[in-house]
Amino acid sequence: RKYVLTFEEANPDDVKLLGGKATSLVLMTRLGLPVPPGFTITTVACKEYYKSGEKLPEGLMDEVIEGVRYLESKTGRKFGGGDTPLLVSVRSGAAVSMPGMMDTVLNVGLNDKTLQGFIKFIGSEHAAYDAYRRFLAMFGRIVLGIPEEEFNKPLDEIKRKYGVKEDPEIPLQGLKELVDLYKQVYIRRVGKVIDDPWEQLRLSIDAVFKSWNSPRAKFYREANKITPDIADCTAASVVTMVFGNADWRSATGVVFSRNPATGEDELYGEYLPYAQGEDVVAGIRTPKPISELKKEMPEVYQQLYEGVKKIERYKKAVQDVEFTIEKGKLWFLQTRNAKMNPLAMIKVTVDMVKQNWMTKEEAIMTIKPQHILQVLYPRIDEAKAPKPIVKGIAASPGAVSGQAVFDPDTAVEWAKAGKRVILVREETKPDDVHGFYASVGILTSRGGATSHAAVVARAIGRPAVVGAEGLKIDYSTRTAKAGDVVIKEGDWLTIDGFTGNVYVGQVSTIEPKLPPEFYELLDMADSVSVFGVKANADTPEDATIARRFGAKGIGLLRTERMFRAPGRLELFRSVILSTNANERRDALNKLAELMRRDFEEIFEIMEGYPVTVRLFDPPLHEFLPNVEELVAEVTRARTLGRPDPEKEALLARVRALMEANPMMGHRGVRLGITFPDIYMAQVKAILEAALELKKRGKNVQVQIMIPQVSEYKELEYVINNVVKPTAEEVFKNYGDRIDFKIGTMMETVRASLTADKIASVVDFMSFGTNDLTQAVFSFSRDDVENKFMSQYLNLGILPYDPFVTIDRDGVAKLMKIAVDLARSVKPNIEIGICGEHGGDADSIRILAEVVGRGLDYFSASPYRVPVARLVTAQESL
Ligand code: PEP
Ligand code: MG
């Protein structure tokens, strides 16, 4: 045989040959579960069908006849037989599921003659005629292409005639009349009733193959990028029909092998006695919970339970199983991996490791970064939520409240004023992206899950609801209407990027409660990972979250905010501006004292793990008063004839500090060399804090990191003239010492190209890939997003934003060169990355590939630590 394989002889791994639906039946057959006998006409036949101009290949029907004979022998029924008719379904199914896109024909084999045997079998004339009229309509529509109205019109007539609203209420007489009316439709449209079962079967197979290239199926494949190497044609399976509506010992149902919402290890699902699939969909009778079946048909329940568990164990994934009970006998009709809530998914995966059903490694590979991300964000507190005013597509996870604004510029303006805003637009375009960054959430009335708004919101981690079509937005009045509700600019909205719901007002959200399994999974990840994960944390709050999420230390503590806090900015300004040496020293000492307390707090939280403190990085003028305001004040004073010499001196000093290109200017290590007082004060504060904790018996591991280096002599100079002398002084005053490491940021091209020299003078290095990306591309990291990046992406000039995901061909390559150089002189030097890329799953994958184990750790912002732990583990396997 060339085209036909029975479920008993096919191989369940041949997805491309058999299609997904058939492989699930083949697998269940192989596992010894009761599956209605069937066979599959493989995709090979479908491909030949198209090659020969949509004709069934020669010899195919002979094989099909042989297949039907096999079904007859398995079931003891006869295809086209009057007494014990065999009825079959003809089902489409490609290698990937294309839900609802292709056709399936049920009850093939029914005609006036077989109907009689079917009535006897099913025990109800009503049920049999109902199946018959459904078959005539389905076959007519799908196989013969008769328009649906042709069948709907008589159906409505009959319902009117008998005064009923719903299909199942039509009395037997009405069904009989309907069958006659349908036969007349056939005669009118195709000249005859197709009552030869073999012709029905042949035409149904033809129709299933044809549906592969229906416009909707083609469109679906294009939209979902299903290329021929993924799925190249459909298979057609011929399966024995079983009936859940044969008597009260019959039923149809759906069951999950575990609870898909919670992950609890219990059967979850429902069933409807004396019914078939359509009845469940129609929702006229309420199905019963599966636990009832345990009472009503304990043996069937037990068989179902064992079967479902057997598949689950084989597939190592929770199953969503369709079944039918026909006269007390259970049949498995379909199984697939269940769609689950991500927390449930994590729980189940960890449980399966504990049950020894899967290995730690398999568990780590099962969970995707998206699962982790989805459980970390706040959710709507359903108990306290009002009715949503409108619902759209859940496009980017998280629930968030903000004030409505209708254009991106206002979003930016309001955000600068400290407001939380939700950007509401009909749809968005690349020019709006600055508004995304300024907003806490995005809401659009048009577009789908791959619209611009959705893609960008996900990329930058903003919750988003898109395509909320019930929302009528009027830019001219800055309002939006949903039914009777009018939303004005500034009104509070809450959007739920998990469900697509939109609410008026500030709906309370719940911070996610992470189950123990979440942490257990990440501990498993750590146990196989060859990379470490640390956090970028500047405050005690950050450090606490980072530690809770399992960061093994701080890879970057940016110290700038310690100078910006209220009360400190003034002190720092006098350090920069004062010409009086005593005043400056005083201010610096006070600052050092305040910073020492900050460090103590953070070191204590991170006890036992290294904390990498980066010395002062930004240009000084960022801390000074605004020049334009100063100029205005000085001018005003002069015009009033009362010049203010102090202000004028200040202005002169501020002007002197200004630079044409401050990001490439007097900052980082350059300041450390020319303005050493600041670094000295920081080193003093860090080491005093460390010694203080040491005195209290705490284990502190201090690493001091110097930024913006491009030449190793810069480092040599600050280490020998600033850091070390200060340390010695602190140790002397304290009467105690502590070990600490000195390292550098790698964020210039030159540092990377001379990494061997740099390595020779430091204990560790950490790639600042934000600045390094800026330097490698010569793109201003603060401006690209608003200016040209989105256009570059739309035009395909860049495949992705290199400030989000590390540039493989340039930046990652340079890092590889640097790491090799550094390790050539100091093989065991510690090397990490602390740019934003450290928490981006794709970047971690790229770096693991390009740089590999030359990197020791990834440092990520606290909320991204869990993803980094998972992905680094996956990349270690
Ligand atoms: C970097 O440049 O990648 C970095 C971590 O430092 P910052 O973002 O503070 O410049
Ligand atoms: Mg930097």
Residue 254 CA to residue 378 CA, distance in Å, equals: 31
Question: Which band of pLDDT confidence, cut at 50, 70 and 90, is reported for residue 461?
Answer: low
Q: How far is the CA of 555 from the centre of ligand 1 (A)?
A: 11
- Angle among Cα 137, 138, 142 to the nearest 5 degrees reads 120
Give the residue with greater pLDDT, 460 vs 328: 328
Note the pLDDT of residue 409. 93
* Residue closest by Cα to atom 6 of ligand 1: 768
pLDDT tens digit string along 740-774? 999 999 999 999 999 999 999 999 999 999 999 99
pLDDT band at 785 (very low <50, low <70, confident <90, very high): low
Q: Which of 771, 781, 805, 861 to mutate to test the pocket of ligand 1 (most atoms within 8 A of CB)?
A: 771
Q: Indicate if ligand 1 lies below 6 Å from the C-beta of 747.
A: yes
> Is residue 476 classed exposed, middle or buried when 0-12, 13-18 and 19+ CB atoms within 10 A define those classes?
exposed
Concerning whether 452 is annotated as a catalytic residue, the answer is yes
pLDDT tens digits, one per residue of 577-588: 887 889 888 999
Confirm or reject: Cβ of 768 under 6 Å from ligand 1: yes
Residue from 834, 840, 857, 858 to probe ligand 1 pocket by mutation (most atoms less than 8 Å from CB):
834
Contact between 529 and 552 under an 8 Å Cβ cutoff? The reply is: no
46 is an active site residue? no
Q: How remote is the CA of residue 618 from the centroid of ligand 2, in Å?
A: 9
Give the residue carrying structure tokens 């530690």: 547
Which residue is closest in CA terms to ligand 1's atom 4? 768
CA dihedral 650, 653, 659, 660 (to 10 degrees): 60
Burial of 566 (0-12, 13-18, 19+ CB in 10 A): exposed
Q: Is the CB of 770 under 6 A from ligand 1?
A: yes
CA of 555 to the centre of ligand 2 (A): 13
Helix (H) or strand (E) holding 444: strand 441-444
Q: How far does residue 174's CA lie from ligand 1's centre (Å)?
A: 76
161, pLDDT greater than 80: yes
Distance 569 CA to ligand 1 centre (A): 22
CA of 617 to the centre of ligand 2 (A): 8
- Of the pLDDT bands very low, low, confident and very high (cuts 50, 70, 90), residue 777 is very high
Ligand 1 nearest atom to the CA of residue 771, by list position: 2
Mean pLDDT value across residues 399-416: 94
pLDDT in tens, 351-399: 999 999 999 999 999 999 988 987 888 888 888 899 999 999 887 778 9
Q: What atom of ligand 1 comes closest to residue 770's alpha carbon?
A: 3
Nearest atom within ligand 1 for CA of residue 834: 5
The answer to whether 258 touches 268, Cβ cutoff 8 Å, is: yes
Residue nearest to atom 9 of ligand 1 (CA): 558
The ipTM value here is 0.99
Q: Which ligand is nearest to the CA of 811?
A: 1
Give the 3-state secondary structure of residue 214. Answer: coil
What is residue 100's predicted lDDT score, i.e. its pLDDT?
A: 78
Establish how many alpha carbons lie within 13 A of residue 660's alpha carbon, considering only the half-sphere containing its beta carbon. 0
Is-contact 267 256, C-beta < 8 A?
yes
Ligand in nearest proximity to the CA of 803? 1
Contacts 24+ apart (CB under 8 A), 453-461: 453/395, 453/425, 453/427, 453/428, 454/393, 454/395, 454/396, 456/428, 456/790, 457/395, 457/396, 457/497, 458/395, 458/396, 459/801, 459/804, 460/436, 460/804, 461/396, 461/398
Rounded mean pLDDT of 590-608? 96
Average pLDDT of the residues in 109-133: 94
Identify the active-site residue in 46, 371, 834, 837: 834
835 lines ligand 1 (CB under 6 A): yes
> What stretches of 495-559 show up as alpha helix (H) in DSSP?
516-528, 540-548
Closest CA to 518 of 869, 163, 47, 60: 869
Triad 623, 627, 628: Cα angle to 5° = 140
- What atom of ligand 1 comes closest to residue 769's alpha carbon? 3
Span from the CA of 107 to the centroid of ligand 1 (angstroms): 66
> Residue 806 in contact with residue 851, Cβ under 8 Å?
no
The residue-averaged pLDDT of 654-670 equals 91
Which residue, among 249, 258, 256, has the nearest Cα to 324 in the 3D structure?
Answer: 249
The CA 454 to ligand 1 mean position distance, Å, reads: 27
Q: Go through the domains of the chain in sequence order and give each one's CATH number.
A: 4-240 (3.30.1490.20), 251-340 (3.30.470.20), 387-510 (3.50.30.10), 529-619+659-876 (3.20.20.60)
Ligand 1 atom nearest residue 536's Cα: 5
Q: Pick from 687, 704, 686: which is nearest to 744 by CA? A: 704
Which atom, in ligand 1's list, is nearest to the CA of 556?
Answer: 5
CB of 771 closer than 6 angstroms to any ligand 1 atom: yes
Q: Which helix (H) or strand (E) holds 36?
A: none
Which of 554, 557, 561, 747, when mutated, tests ligand 1's pocket best, judged by the most ligand atoms within 8 Å of its CB?
747
1 in contact with ligand 1, CB cutoff 6 A: no
User: How many Å lie between the centroid of ligand 2 and the Cα of residue 54?
Assistant: 62
Residue bearing the CA closest to ligand 1, atom 10: 771
| Residues with Cβ–ion distance below 5 A, ligand 2 | 747, 768, 771
What is the pLDDT, as a whole number, of residue 449?
Answer: 61
Out of 170-174, 266-270, 373-377, 446-450, the most confident range is: 170-174
CA of 601 to the centre of ligand 1 (A): 23
Q: pLDDT for 679-737, tens place per residue? A: 999 999 999 999 999 999 999 999 999 999 999 999 999 999 999 999 999 999 999 99
Q: What's the token pair of residue 835?
A: 């740019």
C-alpha 822/C-alpha 851 separation (Å) is 13
Task: Give me the pLDDT at residue 283, please.
Answer: 62
Taking CA atoms, 374 is separated from 341, 521, 588, in Å, by 9, 15, 45
| Pairing label, strands 4-6, 764-767 | unpaired
CA distance 514 to 373: 12
Please indicate whether residue 277 or residue 793 has the higher confidence score (pLDDT). 793
Which residue did the predictor score with more confidence, 816 or 574? 816
Q: Which ligand 1 atom sits nearest the alpha carbon of residue 560?
A: 9
Of the candidates 371, 452, 621, 837, the residue annotated as catalytic is: 452
Q: Is the CB of 766 under 6 A from ligand 1?
A: no
Side by side, which strands form the sheet with 288-289? 288-289, 268-273, 251-256, 319-326, 329-337
Helix (H, G, I), strand (E, B) or coil at 240: strand
538 lines ligand 1 (CB under 6 A): no
Task: Give me the chain's average pLDDT, please.
Answer: 93
